Amino acid sequence: MSAVFNFTFVPWFRSVAPYIHMHRGKTFVVGVCGEAIAAGKLQHLAQDLALIQSMGVRIVLVHGFRPQVNEQLKAKGHTAKYSHGMRITDEVALDCAQEAAGQLRYEIEAAFSQGLPNTPMAGATVRVLSGNFITARPVGIVDGVDFQHSGLVRKVDVAGINRTLDMGAMVLLSPFGFSPTGEAFNLTMEEVATSVAMALHADKLIFVGEVPGIRMDPSQPESDDNPIDTELPLAAAEKLLAALPGATLPTDTAFYLQHCVKACKGGVERSHIIPFAVDGALLLEVYVHDGIGTMVVDEKLEELREATADDVGGILQLIEPFEKDGTLVKRDRTEIERDIGNYTIVEHDGVIFACAALYPYPEAKTAEMAALTVSPESQGQGDGEKVLKRIEQRAKSMGLDSIFVLTTRTMHWFIKRGFQNVDPDWLPEARKRKYNWDRKSQVLVKKL
Ligand SMILES: CC(C)(COP(=O)(O)OP(=O)(O)OC[C@H]1O[C@@H](n2cnc3c(N)ncnc32)[C@H](O)[C@@H]1OP(=O)(O)O)[C@@H](O)C(=O)NCCC(=O)NCCS
């Protein structure tokens, strides 16, 4: 084995460790669209899910079957009928849906049963259990359209799913539900996944879909200047959703987003939209810092907010000990009062636990993040990261390309979060003039 391999593999594996620890024992609901399976992605998805499960994550897998049902309908010479973005399930469509679901379950169970030596599934023993966990009700007649056997989720058997997960099995759900009269209803994968995630209070809901995520500017096409927005706070996601036209196709921006927003409002802290087209997208989203798709996150807005004049005292109290020991540069009350609009804070029950300020240099398309502080008793709980993310969003919304920090003791924290060391000469002219060469602060930059 080459020495280079050791130097790349070991740090790489260790960098993933915090995420492995963090997700152990958590519940993820993963909704995979039927298109992913039709595109031949099932084997790799199964391998990745088996790996994630082996690292202690409890997984509920919900599969879609839109193209498979349409294929069956076509074979029977029947056309697929939709209204309000939902299938109208007549007798023939119900038959097709049952056939497609049966076939897909069979294929999925087979994919999780692989175990050939020298493959990622070698040694994996994934038990996949399906069942009648969903009670459904008919959609009924909407605006004069009879949806017949199309249904909506009425109830999720939370105890039953939890017992199955406790046994160490993966729960596999098809978009079907049954009514107390024994009737079968065709549901949508997205609604089943969302309802199950909410009912279970899952830690994550992940849609593996046709779209790469939500773009920074969803009205504009893909480009280097319009990348995927990796993190959308719930409030911003709701605002975006309200501005978008209603979704009818899975490729519409609002299609998965509406379910992510619903799940987040229903108590699922993080909902993700990731593309099946990227091999390993699940691993990239779950075990890499920035992920690959879009994550809608409920960050408890009452806690994380922009500061007001009333917060000056609390901020002073928070940063003072760090100014005394030299970690932070001294700022007096007047300076903080003047710049209070630049501060973001985390407040809980009237006490400020974290803060940071953003000083833009628009001429250089960058901004300084200053005075990042988390109170000693609440460090290590992610507040620092939360504030950083918010500062990044504020900078992005100002159209800036990067943020930078000057630090003497906290380089590693920033480097781990995507900052890179640069020469002080890199600083915008106006900031360079104020740079204290005696303090020898390191300059770290993060591209947005
Ligand atoms: C740096 C700071 C803001 C991080 O806040 P936090 O809420 O504790 O950060 P998070 O919970 O998001 O991250 C915690 C991780 O950062 C690590 N960390 C904390 N301080 C660090 C430092 N100085 N250097 C490197 N890593 C550090 C923790 O060990 C923990 O690592 P782990 O996730 O591997 O366990 C906080 O420690 C702080 O206020 N420090 C004093 C002030 C300061 O140095 N500010 C920066 C001025 S430029």
Chain position carrying tokens 């409890």: 58
Does the structure show a pLDDT above 80 at 440? yes
Residue to substitute in 410, 411, 415, 439 for testing ligand 1 pocket (most ligand atoms within 8 angstroms of CB): 410
CA distance 210 to 204: 19
Chain position carrying tokens 């990348």: 227
pLDDT, one tens digit per residue, over 110-148 is 999 988 788 888 888 899 999 999 999 999 999 999 999
Residue 353 CB less than 6 A away from ligand 1: no
Residue 372 CB less than 6 A away from ligand 1: yes
Q: Give the number of the atom of ligand 1 that is nearest the alpha carbon of residue 406.
A: 48
Residue 409 CB less than 6 A away from ligand 1: yes
- C-alpha of residue 304 to centroid of ligand 1, in Å: 18
- Give all strands (DSSP E) within 69-199, no chain letters: 82-83, 86-87, 128-129, 134-138, 141-142, 145-146, 151-156, 170-173, 176-178, 184-186
Does the structure show a pLDDT above 70 at 1? no
CA distance 364 to 427: 9
- pLDDT (mean) for 242-259: 90
Percent of the chain with pLDDT over 70: 98
Residue 413 CB less than 6 A away from ligand 1: yes
What mean pLDDT value characterizes the chain? Answer: 92
Does the structure show a pLDDT above 60 at 21? yes
- pLDDT (mean) for 254-261: 95
Q: Which residue has the higher pLDDT, 160 or 121?
A: 160
